[in-house]
Amino acid sequence: MCGIFAVYNYQGDINVYRKRVLMCSKKLRHRGPDWSGCVIKGNHILAHERLAIVGVGSGAQPITNKDESIVLAVNGEIYNHKGLEKLVPGAKFSTHSDCECILHVYARKGNAVVEHLDGMFSFALLDVPNNKLLAARDPIGITPLYQGWSSDSPDTVYFASEMKALQDECDKIISFPPGHFYDSSTKETTRYYRPPWWNPSAVPTAPIDYKLLRESLELAVRKRLMSEVPYGVLLSGGLDSSLIASIAQREAIKLAANQNGFAEGDVDESALESWPKLHSFSIGLPHSPDLAAARKVADFLRTMHHEFTFTIQEGLDAVHDVIYHLETYDVTTVRASTPMYLLSRKIKAMGVKMVLSGEGSDEIFGGYLYFHAAPSAADFHEETVTRVKNLHTSDCLRANKSTMAWGLEARVPFLDASFLNVAMNVNPEEKMFKPGGERMEKYILRKAFDISTTGDDRPYLPDSILWRQKEQFSDGVGYSWIDSLKATAEKHVSDEQLATAAERWSKDTPTTKEAYWYREMFEDSFPEDSCIESVVRWIPRSDWGCPEDPSGRAQTVHNAAYANNK
């Protein structure tokens, strides 16, 4: 993961402007502390801040082909890069970077290059002979990308990995839509990602195939183990992160026992070769539910486990910086991002540069406790599709920016495109909660890895973890974390301020003191009107009877006991 900054068709002296571009790019250096690069072609300029994970010694960017007719700056990882090399026989690769394949596939396939990429990515590619810029973002928006314009120079287009690099240059900034590409020759933004489950009104009818679901997730994890640097897993002790840790540990054990035999020949197994011992990381307030659960999982899997605690005051002191890095004032995102931000700093201090994480599962399987209130299977499915489509505004944004604030890359196997096609095409009746202890949230995911289904002598997880009730990360780190945020906001924001909030902010008017407090801190860093256009707040489903507070503890089923869930 890295930081990119690109300017197409600058109106002025591009060589003089280079200094300003470098300053804008420097605002992204936390994303790529390992090296910086800048290339000018005509009146276009591409800058890059690199975090080296694959091709460490030779993958500096922007990358060019031999005659420098194509220039490429990428933020992301291309998991099928070895397979794509076979798509371009005779191409001369000058680096060992997984991203260089984009350049060579574009030379053969043009804009259709985006349809061949399996990974998380945002990139800007300059086709010099055709005076054209191609920009694109991965299907779900795991990596961030922003597009901007200035009214002083309407024919100039800007792109950056984070909004902060554009705020002084542009008076219009948008979050570039996931699954799209922009072609400067047509000035059009086109959707390329059209999976079969995209239409929320088309309710799938396929029965659950537990074996296919399990093997699809295993392959998704395996793909994401390519790395030439130390890596690990974020382990909250919840179902999702624990499953990812379990699968990753099994892959490491396979290699140690010389039992590779991977069927997917295009998978880059470099991490397994270089770092076969899996490290796991957890954080929480002292005695938090997540710390205890994560410890149990780590002991069961025999990972090299690292447990960190933080104090309420340390968390509160970090909130302002967290909002600066997140570039949002969404309450749920800020709550959950602060512990992740603190943990990422600890992990990076240990020399680790990449982690696997469990984002996306709750959206795919309806794992949030409010899904229990879904009126019907069709409503349930529509909500899962909507939540997955909007992940780039919430959990993907949190996972990426909380970690990349310290130059740590998070990879999310649940959002693998192939796995999504399997999981999102399951009949939603199979996913729904059933009262009376018959089925709990994410039942089919739990069942797919239960020993009664796998037939494996080795359980993936202890039953107490595999069948543990959903605990949102911001709750699981310690219930007093959210309580303290609310109490601090109560002291900071007066009743009068909240009552007149609409006079200060007519758009996205905060309705609670906590939301008001976050909005104030956002405005400290991003006072420009252009900076609020890309912010999306999650609004609870009041039509399903959900409370305004997004905490899982606010849901009526939080304390429900489940009997015989399996």
Residue range(s) defining the domain that contains residue 146: 3-191
The model's pLDDT over 376-400, given as tens digits with 9 standing for 90+, comes to 999 999 999 999 999 999 999 999 9
Flag whether 560 is in a domain: no
Ranges in the chain, pLDDT < 50: 259-264, 552-555, 558, 560-566
Number of independent structural domains in the chain: 2
Flag whether 565 is in a domain: no
* Binding-site entries for L-glutamine: 98
Which of 452, 485, 518 is the endpoint of a domain?
Answer: 485
Tell whether 105 and 216 lie within a shared domain.
no
Tell whether 9 and 86 lie within a shared domain.
yes
Helix then strand count (H, E) for the chain reads 21, 17
What is the reported pLDDT for 337?
96
What is the reported pLDDT for 276?
59
Tell whether 317 and 360 lie within a shared domain.
yes
Q: What is the pTM of this model?
A: 0.94
How far is residue 426's CA from residue 447's CA, in Å, rounded to a whole number?
14
Which of 485, 505, 523 is the endpoint of a domain?
Answer: 485
* Binding-site entries: 98, 234, 283, 357-358
DSSP 154: E
What is the reported pLDDT for 554?
47
How far is residue 15's CA from residue 45's CA, in Å, rounded to a whole number?
9
Tell whether 120 and 267 lie within a shared domain.
no
What is the reported pLDDT for 546?
87
Flag whether 396 is in a domain: yes
Flag whether 496 is in a domain: no
Report whether 410 contacts 234 (CB < 8 A): yes
Tell whether 165 and 225 lie within a shared domain.
no
* Binding-site entries for ATP: 234, 283, 357-358
C-alpha dihedral over 433, 435, 436, 441, to 10 degrees? 20
Tell whether 155 and 227 lie within a shared domain.
no
Flag whether 333 is in a domain: yes
DSSP 468: P
What is the reported pLDDT for 95?
87
Relative orientation angle of helices 395-404 and 331-349, to the nearest 10 degrees: 30
What is the reported pLDDT for 206?
96
What single-letter amino acid sits at 479? Answer: Y
Which of 430, 455, 485 is the endpoint of a domain?
Answer: 485
How far is residue 239's CA from residue 251's CA, in Å, rounded to a whole number?
19
Tell whether 218 and 179 lie within a shared domain.
no
Tell whether 294 and 338 lie within a shared domain.
yes
Tell whether 481 and 349 lie within a shared domain.
yes
Tell whether 42 and 126 lie within a shared domain.
yes
Flag whether 554 is in a domain: no
Q: Which residues contact 195 (CB under 8 A, 6 or more apart)?
A: 139, 417, 420, 421, 424
Tell whether 274 and 153 lie within a shared domain.
no
| Strand ordering across the sheet containing 180-183 | 63-64, 70-78, 119-127, 132-137, 180-183, 188-191
- Catalytic pick from 2, 99, 170, 396? 2
Flag whether 538 is in a domain: no
How far is residue 94's CA from residue 79's CA, in Å, rounded to a whole number?
18
What single-letter amino acid sits at 443? Answer: Y
CATH number (domain holding residue 392): 3.40.50.620
> How many angstroms from the chain centroid is the CA of residue 63?
24
CATH number (domain holding residue 60): 3.60.20.10
Question: Tokens 């420009």 label which residue?
Answer: 528
How far is residue 164's CA from residue 327's CA, in Å, rounded to a whole number?
8
Report whether 336 contacts 474 (CB < 8 A): yes
Tell whether 422 and 299 lie within a shared domain.
yes
How far is residue 424's CA from residue 197's CA, in Å, rounded to a whole number?
6
Q: Is 2 a catalytic residue?
A: yes
Flag whether 157 is in a domain: yes
